[in-house]
């Protein structure tokens, strides 16, 4: 009996899990277990033998049962402990440290630009991306025979002769929102319109879909000087520097007179794009004084009001500010690129808190 005792107590204390323990229980005190069959053999003993062996076997059975129960408790405590360790969570930690998604540089720059112009008193206007050719061209003083229609590499959804509907285009610029805003708000007004535009063009600095911000200010005392100041202030705020070199080049747009294109000094050396240095210039916007015919088309009296307008390439200035040498990569949806150039979603650009940190 001593051997049995030693054997089971040591097996029980060595058991590593509840399954082994259950097997040991069956083996020792189960119906056909070793201790149980000993108890059955009590009947064959003499009364004297039975008197000695009976209580001893009972005591052994009790001892084994309580060792089993104690071990079972210990094993289940250990299992719970293990699980708790695995499921441990520090609820006082700040939310996700590791960045998951990120803000696309275009969205970031869009917000930065909006922030700067909002501070100068411009509100945000919107217009449709599929536009009638009246808004996209005619109202902007680009009649049917005008070469600008061809120059813009326009995507037509359908042309004049396709059916009875008036021709529509994927807007080639945000300028139609000038007309829509004049119609809706009247004068005086000060709006910007960030949005998508489309032209059939594809190379390192052109994609068929890109982004512009239109700006329009109409009042009774607006001049080219206001336009220039506004753009210079914008460019300094945007690039977060005191000086950026701009070049105003006399140009021509049907919807402005006089007109100027604006370039920013930059360098492309070694595949790296840097702003403010070097001998290259990157064209970033078109601008000018709103043509009287355009004011008229928007329902505003050109004898009383004047306006300045500009169209700025969001993608262009994003490339310049964040040193992206190829525009096409913006729209490849390559996760490695997005991780590299993306912005933290929790850092909203603000003039006080900083635009880009």
Residues in contact with ligand PHE by the rule CB under 6 A: 173, 175, 253, 256, 286-288, 309-311
Closest CB to ligand PHE among residues 12, 109:
109
Minimum CB–partner distance for residue 283 and ligand PHE (Å): 9
Give the residues across from 168 on adjacent strands: 132, 158
Minimum CB–partner distance for residue 256 and ligand PHE (Å): 5
Closest CB to ligand PHE among residues 286, 298:
286
Distance CA 204, CA 333 (A): 16
Phi and psi at 189, nearest 5°, equal -155, 155
Give the residues across from 248 on adjacent strands: 262
Minimum CB–partner distance for residue 122 and ligand PHE (Å): 14
Minimum CB–partner distance for residue 288 and ligand PHE (Å): 5
Closest CB to ligand PHE among residues 103, 289:
289
Q: What distances in angstroms separate CA 221 from CA 118, 180, 259, 305, one per listed residue?
A: 20, 22, 18, 7
Closest CB to ligand PHE among residues 73, 200:
200
Closest CB to ligand PHE among residues 24, 152:
152
DSSP state of 97: -
- CA proximity to 106, closest of 345, 354, 319, 332: 319
Minimum CB–partner distance for residue 173 and ligand PHE (Å): 3
Phi and psi at 244, nearest 5°, equal -130, 135
Q: How far out from the chain centre does Cα 136 lie?
A: 31
Minimum CB–partner distance for residue 319 and ligand PHE (Å): 17
Structure tokens, 95 = 């939310």
Phi and psi at 291, nearest 5°, equal -65, 135
Closest CB to ligand PHE among residues 280, 283:
283
Q: Residue 20, CB half-sphere, CA atoms under 13 Å: how many?
A: 12
> What is the torsion angle, in degrees rounded to the nearest 10, for the CA atoms of residue 236, residue 240, residue 244 and residue 247?
-50
Beta strand 306-313 with 274-275: parallel, antiparallel or unpaired?
unpaired
Closest CB to ligand PHE among residues 35, 142:
142
Minimum CB–partner distance for residue 300 and ligand PHE (Å): 16
Minimum CB–partner distance for residue 341 and ligand PHE (Å): 25
- CA proximity to 278, closest of 320, 307, 237: 320
Closest CB to ligand PHE among residues 154, 175:
175
Residue number, nearest CB to ligand PHE: 311
């Amino acid at each position: 009996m001593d051997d049995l005792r030693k054997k089971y107590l040591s097996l029980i204390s060595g058991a590593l899990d509840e399954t082994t323990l259950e097997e040991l229980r069956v083996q020792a005190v189960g119906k056909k277990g070793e201790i149980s069959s000993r108890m059955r053999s009590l009947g064959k003993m003499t009364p004297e033998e039975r008197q000695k062996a009976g209580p001893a076997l009972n005591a052994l059975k009790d001892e084994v049962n309580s060792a089993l129960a104690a071990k079972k408790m210990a094993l289940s405590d250990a299992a719970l402990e293990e699980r708790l360790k695995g499921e441990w969570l520090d609820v006082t930690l700040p939310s996700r440290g590791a960045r998951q998604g990120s803000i696309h540089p275009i969205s970031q720059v869009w917000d930065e630009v909006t922030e700067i112009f909002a501070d100068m008193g411009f509100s945000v206007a919107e217009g449709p991306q599929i536009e009638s050719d009246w808004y996209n061209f005619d109202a902007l003083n680009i009649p049917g025979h005008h070469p600008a229609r061809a120059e813009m590499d326009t995507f037509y959804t359908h042309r004049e002769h396709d059916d009875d509907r008036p021709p529509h285009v994927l807007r080639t610029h945000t300028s139609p929102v000038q007309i829509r805003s004049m119609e809706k708000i009247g004068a005086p007004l000060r709006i910007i319109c960030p949005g998508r535009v489309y032209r059939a063009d594809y190379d390192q600095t052109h994609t068929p879909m890109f982004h512009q911000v239109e700006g329009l200010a109409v009042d009774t005392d607006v001049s080219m000087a206001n336009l220039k100041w506004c753009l210079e202030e914008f460019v300094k705020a945007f690039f977060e520097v005191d000086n950026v070199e701009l070049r105003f080049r006399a140009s021509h747009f049907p919807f402005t007179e006089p007109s100027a294109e604006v370039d920013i000094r930059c360098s492309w050396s070694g595949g790296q794009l840097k702003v403010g240095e070097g001998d290259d210039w990157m064209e970033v916007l078109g601008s000018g004084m709103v043509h009287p015919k355009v004011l008229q088309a928007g329902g505003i009296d050109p004898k009383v009001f004047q306006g300045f307008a500009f169209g700025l390439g969001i993608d262009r200035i994003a490339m310049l500010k964040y040193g992206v040498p190829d525009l096409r990569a913006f729209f490849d949806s390559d996760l490695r690129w997005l991780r590299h150039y993306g912005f933290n979603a929790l850092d909203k650009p603000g003039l006080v808190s900083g635009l880009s940190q």
